[in-house]
Amino acid sequence: MAVGARSGHDEPEKRADEAIGDEATGDGVTDDERAHDDGGGDGEAAGRSGGSPKKPRSFWKELPLLIGIALVLALLIKTFLVQAFSIPSESMMNTLQRGDRVLVDKLTPWFGSEPERGEVVVFHDPGGWLEGQKTPDPNVVQKFLSFIGLMPSAEEKDLIKRVIAVGGDTVSCKEGGKVVLNGVALDESAYLYPGSMPCQDSFGPIKVPDGRIWVMGDNRQNSLDSRFHQQLPGGGTIANDLVVGRAVVIAWPVTRWATLPVPDIFDQPALNQAVAAAPLGAAGLAGALPLVLWRRKKRTAGHTAE
């Protein structure tokens, strides 16, 4: 009886312990057991699916895809954003030296931007400018890397000069004197090669046609620029459509890193006022012509009446 009574007392205590376990975990299962059961469930599910967890793809299998994406991005950047060019001569010293790598902005021309005075631009040979000159002979690998933009351009028909005049401007120079732009003598000492004369031979005045530019090198005594191609179609000027873009920065070598801003002399208001004077004068003449004709007609009619 004593044993039975003790047993009867122990059973309610066991049920109480089970109830406490139910309140703590919700189902009478400890956290350790739950974690074990969950893991076991996953294993059973994986086993029922008939296969092991999927392994990540090997890096070497993904490498060709990554290289392909990189090449496509490089080609897009070179085509629409920026392109590297190598300087092959001394015609732009000291602004640019032989071997410099410059980055050329190709984006803004897509939005209708046109070359402006003072900019350093890269342009395609309009024909005859590089005749008889030695040009680079890159190998197949260099051509490919240049084509996708991973090396400076190997295109042998590109030149780089500074824009001196744009469409509508009038430019001239007397031997040993300064370049005169729209009647304003330019002080080019900020970018001309030390000791270089603005022009050693006289030229002009030349009226630059609309949609074209007049270009000159910063090392005037070592630059075959617009001055020396006046016998060609365009009279030495370059069509805006042939301009690849504006050189904005020297990217290599690191010791030569620098931006290529427009010199202050090209910001003179007088340069634009001189250009605007001609259209205004023409408009004034056109407006005055009807008045002159009317007065003349009136005077003639008066004489006839007499």
Is 252 buried (19+), middle (13-18) or exposed (0-12) by CB count in 10 A?
A: middle
Partnered with residue 170 across adjacent β-strands are 207
Contact 148, 74 (CB under 8 A): yes
Question: Is 61 a known active-site residue?
Answer: no
Q: Residue 259 and residue 281: Cα distance in Å, rounded?
A: 40
Establish whether 91 is a catalytic residue. Answer: yes
Answer for the pair 184, 237: CB distance below 8 angstroms, yes or no.
no
Tokens 């001309």 belong to residue: 192
Q: How far apart are CA 248 and CA 252, in angstroms?
A: 13
Q: Which of 78, 86, 89, 91 is catalytic?
A: 91
For residues 229 and 306, give the distance between their C-alpha atoms in angstroms, rounded to a whole number: 64
**C-alpha distances out from residue 135 to 21, 129, 158, 210, 228, Å:** 89, 12, 10, 31, 19
CB neighbour burial string for 263-294, b if at least 16 within 10 angstroms, e if fewer = bebbeeeebeebbeeeeeeeeeeeeeeeeeee
Please report how the helices 59-80 and 140-148 are oriented relative to each other, as an axis angle in degrees rounded to 10: 70
Q: Are 152 and 179 in contact (CB under 8 A)?
A: no
86, 146, 161, 172: the active-site residue: 161
Partners of 203 in beta bridges:
173
Contact 233, 205 (CB under 8 A): no
Strand partners, 120: 162
> Annotated active-site positions, please?
91, 161
